[in-house]
Each structure stands twice: as structure tokens, then as C-alpha cells.
């Protein structure tokens, strides 16, 4: 403060005001720097491609055997942050553009981290969480029930996740620098509430919760977003992670393009926004008229303004025949790489999942496809059939538009919170982790009126209503939500696999058991029994890492409140009214849903998918309270018995790629269907080009691209503008028949309203497999065309 007083004195009394003003400014900047750079933490962020096989592999989420990947909507990524005390503990949080975390993936990532860093990163302080997109490749979990529709284990899906998570953590580790973290769930004039991105898809179950409890909450889903802003002392803002509850089901069960769904889209929008605009996010001049961040076309000057000259120039660039390429060409031509500064770490933004169990992004409601009328309230059926009841997103009937809208709504709220984040995290970095066998866990319940009773959880089992699906993705046959009886025919079918004994039936009551997965062991375990639970602490911010993939709205509220009560009533002053507790769903392993006891009685989809019986939520609350107590008291917890590593037992029935071929006289990368000659396209229209291609499983082109839009600069320089990591560019792959070695790649570019007029072309990259197993990379390009 003395420096500031001196500068004020200087201004009023010195005869050489100009010199004195400069001295004052220097002193002021030095004073400000000492305030801003005082950091409690080291922070580092990282991001890596985990897209996986874009062909032939069943997608994880809807359990629809016919939903097979055949292209890319936009790429998937693993995003990580590390927070460390300079001389103390550290925590790692990884957010995956994947349906959920996998116990087996977690085991192998930890093994690699221990091999590289020793005991610096272990299962104790590393959390790996999924966003719950239903449009990512499956086959990477280790339990049988989650591998049936993917024809068993898919090694490519598994490997790309393990590699990508490890590399994202390595990036974060290498980016560790002094920095600060700010938290926000209140954006000034409005709270962090996001009102138009979520609805409750099982309201009849929610209404079974006590009225007195429901009256405490304004909505039947959590509408609040909580955001962390990471600020590097040298570089300024370097990332943000936020938690908001809405399902990754804007893309439907019939979609076949790999996609991060609404949360992955929001992450793309925010990362692109920051790289172009930094904190000038609210300046409408920096965004396209469609409201989304502008791309590279913003920063490339428009050197052509005469359409006739553009057409004349475009006609000189006809489609090039397919030609050999190096493996790194698609990486070198990626758009985002052109914008990255060499020394500055790239901005990483993650939109994390929380208690989304009964929360849908299909905000228009659920309607019958045959009549257009609302579905039955209690069972979500239409004339008794669940398969006719579908939720509608805000872009109905266009699922891509629904994905964009829900993603954009989350993005805009995150930007609002990010720009106004001012509360700094301060305090210890700490963690607690243990393994718990949830199949026979004793839980002590407090009785109404006093006293207590001891109950037990059950071996895992799925109810009949599980097979009915949800309004986001209905099931088949004659199943329905809200079924607490079952039916004789499907009981006979069930008994072929495993007949539950009376003890299990009584334990799971009133759930009628369809699949007794916890007691099915052939050829290996069908469902998990041992689950990891974990608490991460960064100052007054606490993350509950829950393997119960999807807590319902009320389940999440009860768990958060229980843990917060333990923390704030500890009496040691570390936690107060400004304590933040968030649930990170689908973390470290996957064990489906967690409904409240009251919701469980209704047996809608969420209750039927609560594996360990009616007291599952009480078990979680009990065990997390123990972790929170140990955290507060600085006490260790028992490690518990770790879950099995079933990698060597995995079975895969997915047919490998034998070879690729093209028709006689055609090369890989040749154009099969070109743009029309002398073409001019307006912004908002779609350009489509078809290439002779090969199976994308031959090379995943990780951190590369299968599709690229280039713009002509000067007379012969092509600049990358959009790739298959962009929302506007779709890579679709197909073969004429299931066993055909021939295939085509259709690339569709929906021209953004922010694209600059000019000459463009579309390119395709790929890798073909020869009969002897050799892999050869190729590329090809379309004829040039004009965007006016």
C-alpha cells in the first residue's frame, strides 16, 4: 500500500508529472502483480483424442444392437486437470467424452501412471469420469452385461481410451505451473441456474419422494451449474470444468455417428470461443450470426469479392485422384493445430456429468409417435407400448439441431459463470478413496422417532422395467416402466440364464428380477460387486467420485447434503457456508443407477436399474460420510479389497478387417460423386462429396482427421478451415454389404453462416488394408467450388 500512497503523492506534488505518472504506473503494476501471482496451487490441464473406431462397433449407452458406428459427427476427447500443493498432495480429474468410466480402463491407466511417475498418481488421487454420451464406441468395460451388444470386448475401443487418458494426464503434468482456481455458480444478476436444458423424464417416480422434501426445491431436476476457472499466473485463463445434470441423449438410439452429444458439443464451442475471443466472449461482433464461435475463416482475409473471378479460379482445380499419403498428413492439416501457440498451453474446457439419472435433454416432453399425444404419465407408454414413446429435443425432429441447442445453452451459461468467477479456492488439497463390496454391505438406518436398524444391500440385479428403456431410448417387446410384477414369459426366459433364489428376490423387493447379474459368473462376472468411492478436495471445493453411474436428482441432493453436513459441522473451521460439493457421476467404474428408496418402490427405469437393492443410496451416503469424516480428521481409511482385473478373460466376437478394395480402375481416395461443375454454394447450404474409401478401423487417425475443408489462399495455397472435429462437418462411412471389402466415405459440410466467401475444396484421409495385412495411407480431394 505504501507504493500506492507514494504514487498518489507524486502525482499531486511533483513538477515532472509525466515522469512521475510512468513511475506510478510501474509501481502499481508491480503491486498488482504481487497480489495476482500469489498462488496456493500448481495447476495443469491436458486434452487428448479418444475417438475410437468409427466403423462396425456397437455404440455404448442405448444397448441397441443395431446402433453400429459408421462415421464421425465430431471427435471425442479426454480432458484432465491436476491441482497440486507445491510441497504437498495433488489430485487428478479426467473428464471423458465417453458413456462412462470403466473399471478395467481405470486399472490400466493407473498401472501406466505408476510405471511413469511412481506413487505420484494412484487410484487414491486420480478420478476418471464420463459425460454419458450414447454415441461413442462400446466394448471397453469388463463386465459381461455391458459387452453383449458390442459382441464382447473391443480392444481398439479400450486401447484408445487408456492411451488418451494417459496422454491427457501427461500433458496436464507437464503443464503444471503456479496458478489460481476460481469457483462460481452465481453469475451476478442471475444464479448458475440453467432452466432450458433439462427436464425430469420420470416425474411419477420423483413425486413419490416425500412432499416435505420436494417443497425444499424449486424444480424436479437440479438446474444449477457449478464451474471451476483455472488461471495460470503467467498465461492467464487456461481452462474451465463445470458440472451440470443432463443426459447425453440428444442424439437418438438410431444415430450411427460418433458424437460427444450435447456436453461434447458445449466443450467444443467453449474451447473455440476462448481460442478466438478470450474473455471478449460477450462481444457479438466476435461471433457468427448463428451465435456460435467463429472459426479460422474469421482470421483469414477475404481477398476475393468477385463471384465470376472466384468461379474462374475454382474451375482450375478439379478433383485429384487418390494418392498415397503419410500417416501424419491428417494430423498436420487439422484446423485447431493451426491456431495453437507454441508455448502457451491450449485452453481446456470440460462439461462434466453429475446426478443426471432421471434428467433428460429432450425438453419438449415425451410424445407418442403414432398419435402425437403425450405418453402415459406413469408408465411412459402409448397404447400400452413403450417403444412408441419418445422424448423430443428442442430441435425436433432434427437430433443434430437438438444436440447443438442443448450444447449451446450449456456453453453460454458456462461462459457467463466463467467471466464472472471471482471466489478463489483456498486451502488444502486432499483425497480419500476406498473399495467397498456393495453386494452384502450392512447399512445402519435411523428410524423415524429414534433408534436404528441394520439392513443390507443385495447382489446386483436388473428389474423388468430396465428392459423398457426410457423416453430417451425406449426398449422393445412388452416391457414397461413402473412394472413391479414382471410377467411369466420373461421369467421363463430369465430362468434359462439364472433363477434368483428367495433370499435375492426378498432382498431386491419390490423389484421383479429380470437379470440376476450379480450372481451370474459365466464365462466371467456379469456385473461389479466391488466399487471404488472417492472424495477429492481442493480448498472449499469437494468432488464426490461416484461409480453409481447415475444418481437421480433427489438421490444426488441427499448425498451432497449428507456430505456437506459432515464437512461443515466438523467444528474445525475449514469448511463453512461457502463449501461446494459436486457429484461426479460415472466415475472410475460403472454400476448403473441410484434411486431413492421411495423412487425404487415405483420401479420405473431408474429404480429397476438400481443394482444393489432398495438401500443402495443409503449405503452410498453411509460410506461417503465415513470418507468425509476421515478427510476432516486427517485420518486414513482402509483401502479395501480391489476389484478383479478381467482383461485376460475377455472374449471378442467382432470380425476383424480382412482387406479393403476398390472397383477396377479406381484408387482409394478417388472421388465417386463430386460437387457439380462451376458450383456456387450459399452459407447455410450443404456440400456433399463421396470418396472411394476403406474401413476407418485400419487407422483411427487419432489427433488427425478423416475429413477436411480447405480454403484457397492466393493462387495455389490451401488452408485448413474445418475438420471432423467440427460440428458443421460430418464424416459418414458405408459399405454396400456387411462383408464387402469395398466402402465409401460421404463427407457433408453444412456451410456456417460465419464462413468467408471464397474458393473451397473437401479432402478425405484414410488407410487401406491389403490382403497380407499391410496398411497404406491415402488422401484425395474434390473439385473446387465457391462459397458466396
Q: Give catalytic residues, as residue numbers.
A: 360
Task: Give, to the nearest 10 degrees, the angle between helix 155-174 and helix 103-117.
Answer: 40
Strands (E), 187-295: 199-200, 226-232, 236-243
Nearest to 103 by CA among 478, 575, 524, 475: 524
Q: Which 3 state secondary structure label does DSSP give 7?
A: helix
509 among annotated binding-site residues: no
My answer on whether omega of the bond before 614 falls inside 30° of 0, hence cis, is: no
C-alpha–C-alpha distance, residues 772 and 290, integer Å: 49
Pairing of strands 541-545, 580-584: parallel
Supply 633's cell numbers. 480428521
Supply 728's cell numbers. 458443421
- Please name the helix (run of DSSP H) or strand (run of DSSP E) that holds residue 557, with its range, or none: helix 553-568
Nearest to 292 by CA among 759, 754, 600: 754
CA–CA–CA angle 158, 406, 149 (5° rounding)? 30
Q: What end-to-end distance do the CA atoms of the chain give, in Å?
A: 58
**Strand pairing partners for 765?**
779
Q: What distance separates the 2 farthest-apart alpha carbons in the chain?
A: 99
Supply 359's cell numbers. 434428467
DSSP 133: B
C-alpha–C-alpha distance, residues 716 and 302, integer Å: 15
**CB–CB of 82/169 below 8 Å?**
yes
Task: Give, to the nearest 10 degrees, the angle between helix 261-277 and helix 399-420.
Answer: 50
In which residue are the cell numbers 444391500 written? 457
Strands (E), 276-412: 320-324, 348-352, 359-360, 365-368, 389-392
Pairing of strands 365-368, 389-392: antiparallel
Supply 99's cell numbers. 458413456
Q: Which 3 state secondary structure label does DSSP give 151?
A: coil
Return binding residues: 132, 247, 593
Q: Which residues are annotated as a binding site for Zn(2+)?
A: 132, 247, 593
Amino acid at each position: 500500500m505504501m507504493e500506492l500512497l507514494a504514487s498518489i503523492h507524486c502525482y499531486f506534488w511533483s513538477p515532472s508529472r509525466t515522469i512521475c505518472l510512468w513511475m506510478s504506473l510501474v509501481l502499481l503494476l508491480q503491486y498488482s502483480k504481487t497480489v495476482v501471482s500469489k498462488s496456493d496451487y500448481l495447476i495443469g490441464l491436458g486434452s487428448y483424442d479418444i475417438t475410437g473406431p468409427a466403423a462396425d462397433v456397437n455404440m455404448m449407452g442405448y444397448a441397441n444392437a443395431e446402433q453400429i458406428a459408421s462415421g464421425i459427427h465430431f471427435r471425442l476427447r479426454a480432458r484432465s486437470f491436476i491441482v497440486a500443493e507445491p510441497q504437498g498432495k495433488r489430485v487428478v480429474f479426467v473428464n471423458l467424452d465417453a458413456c462412462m468410466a470403466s473399471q478395467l480402463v481405470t486399472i490400466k491407466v493407473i498401472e501406466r501412471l505408476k510405471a511413469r511417475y511412481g506413487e505420484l498418481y494412484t487410484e487414491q488421487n486420480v478420478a476418471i469420469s464420463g459425460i454419458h454420451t450414447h454415441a461413442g464406441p462400446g466394448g471397453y468395460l469388463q463386465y459381461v452385461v455391458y459387452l453383449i451388444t458390442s459382441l464382447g470386448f473391443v480392444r481398439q475401443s479400450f486401447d484408445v481410451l487408456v492411451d488418451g487418458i494417459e496422454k491427457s494426464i501427461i500433458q496436464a503434468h507437464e503443464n503444471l505451473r503456479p496458478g489460481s482456481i476460481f469457483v462460481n455458480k452465481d453469475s451476478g444478476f442471475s444464479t448458475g441456474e440453467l432452466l432450458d436444458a433439462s427436464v425430469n423424464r420420470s416425474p411419477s417416480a420423483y413425486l413419490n419422494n416425500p412432499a416435505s422434501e420436494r417443497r425444499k426445491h424449486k424444480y424436479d431436476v437440479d438446474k444449477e451449474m457449478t464451474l471451476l476457472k483455472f488461471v495460470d499466473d503467467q498465461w492467464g485463463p487456461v481452462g474451465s470444468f463445470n458440472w451440470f445434470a443432463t443426459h447425453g441423449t440428444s442424439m437418438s438410439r438410431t444415430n450411427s455417428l460418433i458424437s460427444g452429444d450435447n456436453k461434447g458439443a458445449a466443450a467444443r464451442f467453449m474451447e473455440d470461443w476462448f481460442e478466438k475471443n478470450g474473455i471478449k466472449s460477450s462481444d457479438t461482433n466476435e461471433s457468427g450470426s448463428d451465435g456460435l464461435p467463429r472459426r479460422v475463416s474469421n482470421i483469414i482475409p477475404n481477398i476475393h469479392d468477385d463471384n465470376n473471378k472466384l468461379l474462374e479460379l475454382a474451375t482450375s482445380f478439379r478433383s485429384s485422384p487418390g494418392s498415397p499419403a503419410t500417416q501424419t498428413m491428417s494430423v498436420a492439416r487439422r484446423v485447431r493445430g493451426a491456431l495453437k501457440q507454441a508455448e502457451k498451453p491450449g485452453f481446456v474446457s470440460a462439461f462434466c456429468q453429475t446426478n443426471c439419472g432421471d434428467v433428460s435433454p429432450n425438453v419438449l416432453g415425451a410424445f407418442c409417435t403414432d398419435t402425437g399425444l403425450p405418453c402415459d404419465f406413469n408408465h411412459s407408454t402409448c397404447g400400452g407400448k413403450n417403444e412408441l414413446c419418445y422424448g423430443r429435443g428442442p430441435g425436433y425432429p432434427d437430433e443434430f439441431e437438438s444436440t447443438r441447442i442443448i450444447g449451446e445453452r450449456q456453453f453460454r451459461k458456462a461462459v457467463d459463470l466463467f467471466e464472472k468467477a471471482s471466489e478463489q479456492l483456498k486451502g488444502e488439497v486432499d483425497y480419500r478413496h476406498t473399495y467397498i463390496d456393495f453386494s452384502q454391505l450392512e447399512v445402519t438406518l435411523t428410524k423415524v422417532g429414534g433408534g436404528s436398524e441394520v439392513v443390507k444391500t443385495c447382489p446386483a440385479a436388473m428389474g423388468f422395467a430396465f428392459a423398457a428403456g426410457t423416453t430417451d431410448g425406449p426398449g422393445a417387446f412388452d416391457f414397461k416402466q413402473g412394472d413391479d410384477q414382471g410377467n411369466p414369459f420373461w421369467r421363463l426366459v430369465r430362468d434359462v440364464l439364472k433363477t434368483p433364489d428367495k433370499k435375492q428376490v426378498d432382498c431386491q423387493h419390490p423389484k421383479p428380477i429380470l437379470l440376476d447379474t450379480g450372481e451370474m459368473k459365466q464365462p466371467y462376472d456379469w456385473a461389479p460387486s466391488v466399487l471404488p468411492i472417492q472424495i477429492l478436495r481442493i480448498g472449499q471445493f469437494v468432488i464426490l467420485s461416484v461409480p453409481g453411474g447415475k444418481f437421480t436428482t433427489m438421490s444426488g441432493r441427499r448425498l451432497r447434503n449428507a456430505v456437506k453436513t459432515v464437512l461443515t459441522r466438523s467444528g474445525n473451521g475449514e469448511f463453512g457456508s461457502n463449501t461446494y460439493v459436486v457429484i461426479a457421476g460415472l466415475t472410475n467404474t460403472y454400476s448403473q443407477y441410484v434411486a431413492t428408496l421411495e423412487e425404487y418402490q415405483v420401479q420405473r427405469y431408474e429404480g429397476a436399474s438400481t443394482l444393489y437393492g432398495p438401500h443402495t443410496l443409503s449405503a452410498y451416503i453411509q460410506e461417503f460420510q465415513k470418507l468425509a469424516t476421515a478427510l476432516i480428521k486427517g485420518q486414513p481409511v482402509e483401502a479395501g479389497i480391489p476389484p478383479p482385473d478381467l482383461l485376460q478373460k475377455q472374449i471378442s466376437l467382432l470380425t476383424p478387417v480382412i482387406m479393403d478394395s476398390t472397383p477396377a480402375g479406381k484408387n482409394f481416395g478417388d472421388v465417386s460423386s463430386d460437387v457439380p461443375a462451376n458450383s456456387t454454394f450459399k452459407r447455410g447450404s450443404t456440400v456433399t462429396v463421396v470418396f472411394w474409401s476403406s474401413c476407418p478401423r485400419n487407422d483411427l487417425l487419432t489427433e488427425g482427421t478423416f475429413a477436411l475443408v480447405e480454403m484457397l489462399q492466393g493462387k495455389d495455397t490451401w488452408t485448413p478451415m474445418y475438420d471432423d472435429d467440427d460440428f458443421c462437418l460430418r464424416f459418414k462411412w458405408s459399405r454396400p454389404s456387411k462383408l464387402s471389402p469395398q466402402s465409401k466415405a460421404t463427407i457433408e459440410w453444412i456451410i456456417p453462416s460465419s464462413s468467408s466467401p471464397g474458393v473451397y475444396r473437401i479432402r478425405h484421409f484414410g488407410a487401406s488394408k491389403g490382403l497380407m495385412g499391410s496398411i497404406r495411407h491415402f488422401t484425395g480431394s474434390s473439385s473446387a467450388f465457391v462459397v458466396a
